[in-house]
Amino acid sequence: MRHNCVLKQASRRRVLATKHIQNGAAISKIDVRSLGQSDKLPPFSGIQALLGVAAVMVTVHHLTLFWSAEFLGSQTANQWTHGAAGVDIFFLISGFVMAISTTGERVPTALDFMRRRVIRIAPLYWLATLAMCLKPIILAFYPSLAVHNNAPTSVRYILACLFFIPARDATGSVIPILNAGWTLNLEMFFYLLFATALLLGIRPIRFLTPAMLILAAIGLSLPENRPAIAVLTDPIMLEFLAGVLLAYAVRGGFRINVKLAALLGLGGIAALLITSPQHTALYREMEWGIPALLILVAVVMLEQRYGRLWPQWILKIGDASYSLYLIHVLLRWPLISLAHKVPAASAHQGVFVTGALAILLLIARLSYWIIEKRFTRVLSRLNSTKLPVNIVLETEAA
């Protein structure tokens, strides 16, 4: 009788915990659908919101660059440089989510892990890259819109870009056909390192820590005329590792109080907005990477108490953040062409950025529903191994 009572109480606690999680108090069942995440892995809602913020930051950064290049004749004049720090936030989140989602009762095989990452990342990137191959035709009609002369010049270069391999374009620059793809090259390399740990049966943290530190040390020691593949040793890869370390710390019970978390977050935001990294070794990682890490720590630590407060609109932007990240570069020429026809947009950067961002958010949302979800759903059917639908992270009571 006592045994049955204990079982009933345990079952009731389990049901209450599930409701608590679904209501967003511990872990929201919001999907993070960017940076290679599975649609069925529900991490913190705060992280999804942060993905949306990061994507908007990068988009606004590039929009100010596009407008300045076209209407001021200089890419560096009047651009919002700090928006580029959204990339650092992306890398940290990716490391965190990969680690938090592959620890627990069930761990994916290396093959299944990579298959899911490719299914998530590749289709939209391939479509956007192939669309960029039409750039020479577009520039024939709008020659003034060219800024980066990285139009595809050979089949070898196109294939390298499609398979996330760093390669030099016609000018000698190590940049993909779709400029934003440089981050995905690093992303896929991180996934490959992570999968290697799974293949060897080693805890990812034990493999990634020495491996990525060694790679960063190699990257710092290489000369300026290094091979294109050496881009994969860029010290910015350490931001993935920082996200992994944070995930293992959280899994291990690391917590800080709300006030300290809020201070760290505010401090990270302030530091990120006032610093401007120089083009020297480790400056970006220190001046943007560390503040971005503080922001991520704050978001993770505040999730339990405030995760349910994130508005739906920012979570929806988080849903479509991957589409926004790729499409805003792809649609550069149509947006600039439209700005030429709207006097207010061509005369005022703020008008252009606001209008272009609104258009891009709508198109990104459509891309998410029409392309991302459908491709992922269809291709996932080819994936025979199923990962757990829910990830339950033990948290303290609110």
DSSP-assigned letters across all residues of 136-155: HHHHHH-GGG-SS------H
pLDDT at 150 over 80: no
The model's confidence at residue 380, banded by pLDDT at 50, 70 and 90, is confident
Complete DSSP assignment for 197-257: HHHHT--HHHHHHHHHHHHHHHHHHS-TT--GGGGGG-GGGHHHHHHHHHHHHHHTT----
The three-point CA angle 28-269-359 to 5° equals 70
174: closest CA among 188, 194, 160? 160
Amino acid at 204: P
Q: How many helices (H) and strands (E) does the chain have?
A: 18, 0
Amino acid at 285: E
Rounded Cα–Cα distance for residues 384 and 398 (Å): 38
Please give the pLDDT value at position 383: 59
Range in 54-58, 78-82, 143-147, 161-165 with the lowest mean pLDDT:
143-147
Q: How far is CA 16 from CA 22, 105, 253, in A?
A: 10, 21, 21
Please give the pLDDT value at position 2: 44
Q: Which position has the higher pLDDT, 262 or 18?
A: 262
The model's confidence at residue 144, banded by pLDDT at 50, 70 and 90, is low
Under 8 Å between Cβ of 300 and 27? no
Residue range 95-136, pLDDT digits in tens: 999 999 887 767 889 999 999 999 999 999 999 999 888 766
Rounded Cα–Cα distance for residues 135 and 330 (Å): 10
Q: Which position has the higher pLDDT, 247 or 153?
A: 247
Q: Where are the domains of the chain?
A: 31-380
277: closest CA among 263, 292, 262, 265? 292
3-state secondary structure of 174: strand
Q: How far is CA 251 from CA 110, 240, 246, in A?
A: 21, 17, 9
Q: Give Cβ neighbours of residue 177 (< 8 Å, ≥ 6 apart).
A: 129, 132, 133, 135, 150, 151, 152, 157, 158, 161, 169
* Mean predicted confidence (pLDDT) in 36-56: 73
Please give the pLDDT value at position 374: 82
Rounded Cα–Cα distance for residues 161 and 237 (Å): 19
Arithmetic mean of pLDDT over the chain: 82
Residue with the two structure tokens 């610093």:
275
pLDDT at 31 over 50: no
Provide the percentage of residues in the chain whose pLDDT is more than 90: 59
Burial (Cβ within 10 Å: 0-12, 13-18, ≥19) of residue 242: buried
pLDDT at 387 over 90: no
Burial (Cβ within 10 Å: 0-12, 13-18, ≥19) of residue 214: exposed
Rounded Cα–Cα distance for residues 102 and 265 (Å): 26
Q: Which of 14-23, 265-274, 379-388 has the largest mean confidence?
A: 265-274
